[in-house]
Structures are given as C-alpha cells and as structure tokens.
Structure 1
Amino acid sequence: MKHFAYVILLLMASSCISNKRITYLQNLPENEAIDLDEFIPYAEVDYRYILQPFDIVDIDFASSDPELTEAFSFQGARNMRGGMMGAGAGGDLFYFTGYSIDERGLIELPKLGKVHIAGLTEEQAKGKVQQAINAYFKDDVFVKLRTAGIRFTTIGEFGRSGTQVILRNRATIFDALAAAGESNILAKRNKLFIIRQYDGGTKIHQINLHDRALLASPFYFIQPNDILYLEPMRIRQLGNADNLSSSLQLFATLLASGLLIFGLIRGKL
C-alpha cells in the first residue's frame, strides 16, 4: 500500500505543469523589470503575399457609368454576397463570389478572358487587371482586387481545430491563436510548426511562442494557406486540458479512500 501511495503521489507531481511552459514571450533576465516601451522592429522580410494557384481573389469594378461595370458583374454572385454578408458568413462567401486561380495561374474574367496573376502581389495583380480593362474600355473603370482574407488551418492542441478565416490584409501569429480559441495548457508552446506553401512546394518551420524574439521573426505574421500544428505534451496521455483536473481529483480521492480503508482494516487487526 505504501508503494501504491508513492506511485500516485509521483504521478500527481509529474502532472503539475510549470508556468514557464504555458507563458508567452519570455526570455527576460531574472530580477529585471520588463521594459514596456522596448521597440522591437519587424524582420526585414517582404510580407506581401504572393498569389498562388488555387487561391481565391475578390475583384470589384466601379465606374461613373453603371452600364460599363454591369458587363463584369455576376448578378447571382452579387445577390449572394449581400445575403451572406448579412448572415455573417465571413470569408467563405468568396468561394462562391470570387475568382479562383487555376493550376496555370489564370483567372477568367467576363469580356476580358483569362488573365495570369499567380506569382504577383495583390497590387501587381490589380494593376494587371486594370491594364486589361483599360484596353477594353476607353472610359475609366476602377478595379479593386483583394485576397479572400487570410485563410489558415489549425490542428493539434488548439481550442478549435479546423480552417479559420481572418478578414484582414495582415495578421500575426497571435491573431491566429486568438481566432483558433488559443492553445490549451497541454500544448508544447515552444514547438509550434508552420507548414507554409511556396511556389512549387512546401516548407515546415518551427517557432517558439515562449521566446519574445518571435516578434522580430519572419514568421511573426502568418500567410494565407498556412497550416499551424501544436504538439501535445506527454501528460496528454492522462486526458485533455478539460478533464485533467478532474483526473487528478479522482486520483486524490482514490488515494485518500484507499488509505482510509487500509487504516481501518489495520486498526481492527
């Protein structure tokens, strides 16, 4: 019985999670006050997203002459966009109303035909579409082109796994964590893997959410189509973050009951 108690106590002690394993942005010297005014410059990286095949872009046309832009508008898509926006559908509506880039990097526009925009930034793609429409019409038609938000996928020890959409032009890794319900206490925050799509292939990058040097990292900002994976700690074998405390309480209750029964039996002997 004594050995059993030792095993249970050892298990409970090993189940305690250090605060350092769940705190973001550490790396502060001991006994040093945090400088809240410290300036951390962004990494010298071009964060402009390069459009890739299978991306979806939203393109709007505007002109002082409504008849000019009517030729470039899908009536059903326009009605769907208004209805889905009102219903709060978020970035998924662009799947139905936007223009998908095919495997050759082309989009097909009414009247203009196919335009190659893969490998370009949003601004460059907008200029190319604008150039194509200027050659078609003598009158001015204004073009607005944007990606369908920042769509990324979270798997592993997140509060909510699956595909997430942030309707912004730029988002940090912490925006992504917030959108996914943040990571739970059983996640290895020092091992967040970013699976990022590049022209012709994929790379896996590892970042440390404990390290405040992340703020100056080239991976501080996420990109469309990123996949974020958080590994679980070994303690995950006892259950998830929601039932871990319940499991420890159960172990403690069983231990106390066992000791009580053992004491009663021993007292009668």
Structure 2
Amino acid sequence: MRKRIPILLLILISWGCISNKRITYLQNLPENEPIELNEFIPFAEVDYKYVLQPFDIVEIDFASSDEELTKAFSYQNTTAGGMSGIGGGGGGGGQGSDPLYFRGYSIDQEGRVEVPKLGKIKIAGMTEEDAKNKVQAEINKFFKEEVYVRLRIAGIRYTTLGEFNSVGVKVIYKNRATIFDALANSGETTLLGKKNKLFIIRQYDGGTKIHQINLNDRALLGSPFYFIQPNDILYMEPMKIRQIGTADNLTASMALFAGLLASTLLIINLVTGN
C-alpha cells in the first residue's frame, strides 16, 4: 500500500498540470515554417483599412480661424478628460464610462451621421480618410471660410466572453489595435482558456461571420485577424478541466490533497517504524 501512495500522488499531480504548449503564445508550431526570433514578419497581404459600419461612433473635429463658425458644427463643445492611450470599458462594461459615446457622432442604421448645419451625411462603407473628405466636401459647399475637418473612429469597442479575467464591453482609445492589445486590456485569459480556440465574431456588410484563431501559433502575426475591429466579440472556449472548477480552486484542491497524502504517508512510516 505504501508503495502505491507515491505513485498515486504523481498521477494526480500530473493530471492536474496543464502543458506549457497549451498556454504559451506565438509558438513555432510543427505545421508552420520556422520563424526566427529576429525575423521580420510582414502584416497580412490584406491591407488593413477599416471600413466604417452602421452603429460605429466617429469623432469629428472642426478647425477654423473663426471660432464661432466651428462651434456651429458641434452638439457639445466640451472635451473628454482623463483618457489614456488604451482604456477599458470598466467592470460593468457600460457606455457610462465612455466619454466619446456622448461626444462622438453615431452612424445610424442607414449609415449616416447627422452634423449640425450640414444634415445627414452617409459615410458607412468608407474608410476614415474617405469619410473625412466627404464631410469636408459638404462643408465646402456652404461656407466660403476655411474650415478644416478631422474625422476618426472614436475608439475601438469590443466584447469579451468566456475565459477572460475581465469580461464585458471594452474600449481601446486608438484607431488600430492588435489582438494582444485586446487581451491585455481585458486582463488576459484565464489559465483554463483554450488559446488555440479563440473565436472572433465579426460584423460584415450584410451579415456576421465567426472566425477561429490560434493564439499559440506565431503565424497569427501575419494573419488578417491580428488586428481587431470595432464591434468584434471575442469568445475564449474553456478546457474540459473547467468542469471541475476554476484554475484557482483546482490548484488549491490539488495542493491540499497532496499535503494530506504526504501527511498520511509520514504517519504510516512512523507507525510501522520504517
């Protein structure tokens, strides 16, 4: 019996362990071409230019030598304070912590933004640059004074579900963000998240698609899904071991069980005198 206890202990410990291959990012997987650590990895051949969609929020700023003229184009003339380069939507995931939700211009279901004095302008289906040029052209029709326009996406909003340490609606205050920006902004994945099965639910013109990506694979750096897009939903599938409990209580349980086994083995040794 005493000989079986250490063997049983080893089996239980190994069963409770999770292989590094399942949790390590950006590996050189066998099916891919080897990549050296200092090798330059180009972005995907697909040119990353986000196309504006209905329900996106854009920030439009106007500049002119005539301050009264620029005020006429804005619903509010307050500026949002306290924003950093990368920010989260908070634990509740609500829009209440997102100043640009109130300050920006929402694109409606028909793909239009409503600008004071100019009316509704359709910009969905355009890049930021094309949308800026269209708003600029509309202004030039009505005003002889020089009024300059700046238009950009008012942050990238996305949602995390599943095995993330922080789930909910998140915001990154940049106009371009990688999948790793999104992971960092969401508190990373849990230990029990399947990093080879991260699903991206992405909106397209006319519908939605589900894409599966592998965070373990270094080839992700050249993938078109290396960059997230506004309104993406990221779902991390749990490992089967998740049915037993969370990573924290599983580790604690294994440690407690190992301690009890060690104590039992010590008592047996003392009683038998060996």
The answer to whether the superposition gives a TM-score over 0.5 is yes
Please list, as runs of the form range in 1=range in 2, the aligned pairs for 1:1-269 lying within 5 A after superposition.
Answer: 10-27=11-28, 35-74=36-75, 77-79=76-78, 81-82=79-80, 85-86=81-82, 92-259=98-265
TM-score, reference length from structure 1? 0.86
Q: Deviations over 1:103-159 (max 9, x none)?
A: 111111111111111111111111111111110101110011111111111111112
SS at match of 2:228: coil
Alignment CA distance shift 1:9-1:37 (3 Å)? closer
* Corresponding residue pairs, total: 259
Q: Deviations over 1:45-77 (max 9, x none)?
A: 121111111111111111011121121122xx3
Equivalent AA in structure 1 for residue 59 of structure 2 = D
Equivalent AA in structure 2 for residue 134 of structure 1 = N
1:53–1:104 Cα contact (<8 Å) kept = yes
Give the distance between the partners of 2:29 and 2:135, measured in 1 at CA. 49
1:28–1:34 Cα contact (<8 Å) kept = no
Alignment CA distance shift 1:37-1:253 (3 Å)? closer
Equivalent AA in structure 2 for residue 41 of structure 1 = P
Give the distance between the partners of 2:154 and 2:245, measured in 1 at CA. 37
Q: CA deviation at 1:257?
A: 4.7
Equivalent AA in structure 2 for residue 255 of structure 1 = L
Q: CA deviation at 1:9?
A: 5.0
Equivalent AA in structure 2 for residue 225 of structure 1 = N
Off by >4 Å, runs of 4+ in structure 1: 4-9, 87-91, 257-264
Equivalent AA in structure 2 for residue 201 of structure 1 = G
1:152–1:224 Cα contact (<8 Å) kept = yes
Structure with more helix by fraction: 1
SS at match of 1:190: strand
Equivalent AA in structure 2 for residue 252 of structure 1 = A
Equivalent AA in structure 2 for residue 22 of structure 1 = I
Q: CA deviation at 1:244?
A: 2.8
Give the distance between the partners of 1:122 and 1:219, measured in 2 at CA. 20
Identity of aligned residues (%): 67
TM-score, reference length from structure 2? 0.85
Q: Which runs of 5+ in 1 are unaligned?
A: none
Give the distance between the partners of 2:50 and 2:35, measured in 1 at CA. 34
Q: Which runs of 5+ in 2 are unaligned?
A: 90-97
